[in-house]
Every structure is written in structure tokens, then in C-alpha cells.
């Protein structure tokens, strides 16, 4: 596997100066980002398949082991505060359990049955989207999870860093970022991990945009749970509506912090009608605003 190969450029790495080591690692990170470009079409296809399933109430499921699993958990865990994605619509199939986030459990990745069992226990079905991540593309736990998810009819997405990865054989969508050998041979927390994080950013963020949780580049489904985020919510309402931040704060108070409802109220809707407008328009703010203007 390319991700495990020794790169002759770095055989004397331990004899280099700090500046030289850092420059080499930095260049590797740039290569990792560049490797994602060739996968953009596959990423878009996966998103287009995932969105309808999630619109029917499905969940996002992240499956992985070691570094890949941790990157998946990081991506998913950031969706509730950023987009108000319900934690009940997230499943983390992490080899060794969530305790492996901070204490490695390397042997857990060898258990294909355990990966499948997490999917079965979570009652994954046709409306769920399961993303399996493995740098090698050979991790038994992740293969087991995707195989079981595919059998259950879920939308399955495999992300790997080696061409011909067995992980691709058990998933509907194949996303390959060929990052090649690492500066430190086999240390896929580096180039491979960076590419995986970029791909997951692209998938999850685009899904949220397509599901109406972003309007004009702003996080209109954000939950304002601290002072900083409350100020941000006020700025978002003010920016979209064109009112003062003090007026925005009043509208947010009227709607109990529901940002999209506050925007509609600021545009003239009654609070209860704002909620109805959003419900009728699939929680899409742009559509709800158009409906309000048309007195829909």
C-alpha cells in the first residue's frame, strides 16, 4: 500500500534541522489537499445521494478505527453546534468504542464482526447515511460496518487513500484521495488524515447547505448557547434583515432563540406563522422568505 511505503526522500529525516523537517511535513500537507481535487466529482455524487435520505429523517453514521475514526467523530460532533443537527441523528461506529478517542485500541480495528454489530445495534436502515473512513482501505472493522450498512440499504460512502481498497467493494460511493507515502512511513495521521478531514468537511458542510441550514453563507440553524454565539446570532439576523442588532436581539427573544424564525418575524411574520412557514417549506429559510413575500 502506498500509504505504508518508505519514501527515500525522508530516510535521513532524523538528521535534518527543525526547519527542514517542518518544511517537509508542510509540503506533505499541501500534497494531501491537492490529492482531494480528483475526488470532487465522487464527493458531489455522494452528497446528492445522501441528502434525500437525510431529508426523510435519516441519520449520519461515521465508521472508522484509530485516526480515521477520530477524524470522523470530530466531523460529526461539530454538526450540532454549527448547524443544530440533532445528536439523535448521529451514530459513531468507533472501533474500541468512544473511549478509543483518547486511549488507542489498535487491536479493535481487526474485528470485522464488531463493526457490523454496531450497525445492527444502531438499527441502520435505508434512510441512513454511513460514511466509512480508512486510510489503508483494508480495516476489517470499517469494512464490516459498511458491509452491514449496505446490506441494510443505507447510503454508504467509503473514503480511503489507496487505490483498489477493499473498502470500496462494500460501499455505494467510492472516494479516493491518493496521498501516497508519508513523511514518516505509515503515519497516516499526517497526509492521509488531512485529506480525510478535508473530504469530511466537504461532505458534511455541503449536506447541511443543501438541507437549508445555511443562507447567504450564514449559519442560520446555529444554536446560540453562549454569549459569543448570541452576539453572532444577532449579527446574522441584523445582516439578513437589515435591522439593528438590538432589534435582532428582541426578535430572537420573541422566538426563544430560533434564528430562522426570528428572521421571518423581523420580516413581518407572526411568531407562530414563522414556525408554520418553515415547516411548510422543509425548514428552508430562502423558500420560507419567498412564501412570506407572496403571503403564502
Q: Which residues pair with 165 in a beta bridge?
A: none
Strand partners, 61: 91, 130
pTM for this model (two decimals): 0.91
Beta strands 90-94 and 155-160: pairing type? unpaired
Q: What is the tens place of the pLDDT at every residue in 108-151?
A: 888 999 999 999 999 999 999 999 999 999 999 999 999 999 99
Q: What is the dihedral of CA 54, 67, 136, 146, to 10 degrees?
A: -30
Instruction: In whole angstroms, give the CA distance from residue 156 to residue 141.
Output: 15
Answer yes or no: are the C-beta atoms of 233 and 252 closer than 8 Å. yes
Q: What's the alpha-carbon Rg for the chain, to the nearest Å? A: 22
Model confidence over 229-254: pLDDT tens digits? 899 999 999 999 999 999 999 999 99
Which sequence positions are flagged as catalytic? 78, 109
Q: Which residues are CB-contacts of 11 (< 8 A; sequence separation ≥ 6)?
A: none
- The whole-angstrom separation of Cα 214 and Cα 108 is 38
Q: Which residues of the chain have pLDDT under 70?
A: 295-296
Within 13 A of 252's CA, how many CA atoms are on the CB side? 26
How many whole angstroms separate alpha carbon 205 and alpha carbon 211?
A: 10
Which pLDDT belongs to residue 123? 98
Contact status, residue 135 vs residue 162, Cβ threshold 8 Å: yes
| pLDDT value of position 2 | 85
Record: fold of 227-293: Helicase, Ruva Protein; domain 3 (1.10.8)
Any idea where the domains of the chain sit in the sequence?
Answer: 2-210, 227-293
Task: Please report the pLDDT score of residue 271 as a whole number.
Answer: 87
Query: What CATH architecture does domain 2-210 belong to?
Result: 3-Layer(aba) Sandwich (3.40)
Instruction: Give CA–CA dist 83/25, Å, rounded.
Output: 33
Amino acid at each position: 500500500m502506498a500509504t505504508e511505503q518508505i519514501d527515500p526522500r525522508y530516510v535521513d529525516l532524523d538528521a535534518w534541522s527543525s526547519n527542514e523537517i517542518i518544511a517537509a511535513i508542510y509540503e506533505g500537507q499541501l500534497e494531501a489537499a491537492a490529492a482531494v481535487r480528483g475526488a470532487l466529482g465522487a464527493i458531489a455524487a455522494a452528497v446528492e445521494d445522501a441528502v434525500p435520505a437525510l431529508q426523510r429523517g435519516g441519520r449520519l453514521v461515521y465508521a472508522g478505527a484509530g485516526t480515521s475514526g477520530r477524524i470522523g467523530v470530530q466531523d460529526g460532533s461539530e454538526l450540532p453546534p454549527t448547524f443544530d443537527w440533532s445528536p439523535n441523528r448521529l451514530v459513531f461506529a468507533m472501533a474500541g468504542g468512544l473511549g478509543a478517542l483518547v486511549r488507542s485500541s489498535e487491536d479493535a480495528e481487526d474485528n470485522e464482526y464488531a463493526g457490523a454489530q454496531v450497525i445492527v445495534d444502531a438499527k441502520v436502515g435505508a434512510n441512513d447515511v454511513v460514511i466509512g473512513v480508512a486510510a489503508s482501505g483494508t480495516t476489517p472493522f470499517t469494512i464490516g460496518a459498511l458491509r452491514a450498512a449496505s446490506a441494510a440499504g443505507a447510503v454508504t460512502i467509503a473514503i480511503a487513500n489507496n487505490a483498489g481498497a477493499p473498502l470500496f467493494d462494500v460501499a455505494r460511493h467510492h472516494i479516493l484521495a491518493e496521498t501516497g507515502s508519508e513523511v514518516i512511513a505509515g503515519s497516516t495521521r499526517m497526509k492521509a488524515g488531512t485529506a480525510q478531514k478535508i473530504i469530511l468537511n466537504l461532505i458534511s458542510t455541503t449536506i447541511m447547505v443543501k438541507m437549508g441550514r445555511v443562507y447567504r453563507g450564514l449559519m442560520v440553524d446555529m444554536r446560540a448557547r453562549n454569549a459569543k454565539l448570541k452576539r453572532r446570532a444577532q449579527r446574522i439576523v441584523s445582516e439578513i434583515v437589515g435591522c439593528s442588532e438590538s432589534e435582532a436581539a428582541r426578535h430572537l427573544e420573541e422566538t426563544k432563540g430560533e434564528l430562522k424564525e426570528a428572521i421571518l418575524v423581523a420580516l413581518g411574520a407572526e411568531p407562530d406563522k414563522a414556525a408554520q412557514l418553515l415547516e411548510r417549506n422543509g425548514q428552508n429559510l430562502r423558500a420560507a422568505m419567498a412564501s412570506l413575500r407572496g403571503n403564502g
